[in-house]
Amino acid sequence: MARLTGTRVVLFDLDGTLVDSAPDLGGAANELLRQHGKPERALEEFRPVAGSGARGMLRVGFGIQPGDADYEPMRAALIELYAQRLLHSTRVFEAVGPMLDALDGAGVRWGIVTNKAMRLAEPLAQGLGLAARAAVLVGGDSTPHAKPHPAPLLEAARRMGELAMHCVYVGDDLRDMQAGRAAGMATVAAAWGYLGQGAQVHEWGADHVSVEPAGLLHWLGLP
């Protein structure tokens, strides 16, 4: 498909789309399991839900979810453990680097919109060299609502001085597509990411499903 008419900005989710943070999220969850005298889990059990952050880790590791009596203290403990190892094993996906280089080379501005709180998202993006290149970084607490609400995406567009209709949002979770559609942006499902659990990626209603980062460039009509 040819490049979308009028596309000026590409916005990306962070975890599972630009970076592989599952090893550190899973590592923090296993540390919490050890503290509670429970056996560790294999990283591959945590990986599919890594895009959900602490919520996904606690569901897999402890079988608890928001609303459960011990969820909030366990979530706080997990986040503190994760903050201590934020950049221990997390890396930019290997194929994402060339994709970002191509966007920069073509003069296409790009930014990051994540549900990760800014106190975690900012040092992570800085440590991996993304913050200095991204035109904007919007976290899960940058607006009153997080994805799948469109507010964070609309805030990113506002900060970049662009209309939502001129933006594309790329993410590896159903809620990313929901947020993008609600914001009036074109949506691309990053099938190289974590993908979560539930509906299959081709059922998310994305405008395009990209199996690899280079596929996004092709869809945008870039070399």
Helical spans, DSSP H, in the chain: 22-35, 43-46, 54-62, 71-84, 96-105, 118-127, 151-160, 174-183, 213-219
DSSP 142: S
Of 13, 172, 173, 176, catalytic: 13
Residue 117 tokens read as: 């709180």
Contact residues for 130 (Cβ-Cβ < 8 A; gap 6+): 18, 19, 92, 112
Inter-CA distances, 122 with 32, 67, 220, Å: 24, 28, 28
Backbone φ and ψ for 196, nearest 5 degrees, come out as 70, -160
Asked if 13 is an active-site residue, the reply is yes
Four-point Cα dihedral 137, 138, 141, 147, nearest 10: -140
Contact 176, 186 (CB under 8 A): no
Residues annotated as part of the active site: 13
